[in-house]
Homo-oligomer: A and B are copies of this chain.
Amino acid sequence: MIALMEYVRPDVMIYLLDMVGVVACAIAATTLAMHKQFDFFGCILVSMVNAIGGGTLRDVMLDRHPLFWMQDLNYLLVITVASLLCQMFFHKIGRIDNALKFFDAIGLAAFSVIGLTVALSFEAHPLIAVMMAVLTSIAGGIMRDMICNEIPMVLQKEIYISASIFGSALYLGLAHFAVIDWIKETVALISIFGVRMLAVKFDWHLPSIQLKKPSAN
């Protein structure tokens, strides 16, 4: 396994998973934008908000400049091409709904691990780092929903933030025992992806913590 990792470098792996997540965000955003009658550039712009909005918010909050997508133009190019193709083949998109959830879960895992490690590299407190993991993975989708006049689904009933927090906590736990980076990262990626996919498959939701009124008898 360690021999394998010499070939599959973990940072390259995370970069590729990140791009998978970016494509998933662009497709999800374009699909929603098409339903809202957005035009060609409107769809692309909302795709960018969804795919890089969370990371941008993280970078601005951490005062990390230039922003990640200004240093690496692949982000904007990948988003534009993904949105373009999605607009062209829009009437076939309905069929890939399950595939989209799969790729979206990959994005959730990659975005979370990137947000966490970026924040830790800026010497943020672990609690802040977990928050940055969550923001990196969900803020773009929330901004997309705000622009499209929808109430953000990720805040309502999906195991989404929870998966990100769970994997981030695992990462920090392993860091406590000085586990080397690629193992921490792989464990976090797999656990976030796994929890999210299980939640999709078995329709898991967070239970309400509201205490019930005593019944009136």
**Chain A, 155-171, contact with B by CB distance < 8 Å: what is the 0/1 string?**
11110011001000000
**Docked-complex contact A37 and B156, CB < 8 angstroms:** yes
Q: Which of B39, B60, B62, B165 is in CB contact (< 8 Å) with A41?
A: B165
Chain A interface residue count, Cβ-Cβ cutoff 8 angstroms: 58
Instruction: Write the nearest CB–CB distance from A209 to chain B, whole angstroms.
Output: 5
Query: How many monomers of this chain does the complex have?
Result: 3
Q: Which of B70, B127, B209 is in CB contact (< 8 Å) with A124?
A: B70
Q: Which of B46, B134, B142 is in CB contact (< 8 Å) with A155?
A: B46
**Docked-complex contact B155 and A38, CB < 8 angstroms:** yes
**Docked-complex contact B36 and A151, CB < 8 angstroms:** yes
**Docked-complex contact A39 and B157, CB < 8 angstroms:** yes
Instruction: Write the nearest CB–CB distance from A138 to chain B, whole angstroms.
Output: 8
Whether a CB of chain B sits under 8 angstroms from the CB of A154 is yes
Q: List, in ascending order, chain B residues with CB within 8 A of A136's CB.
A: none
> What separation, in Å, do the CA atoms of A56 and B61 have in the docked complex?
8
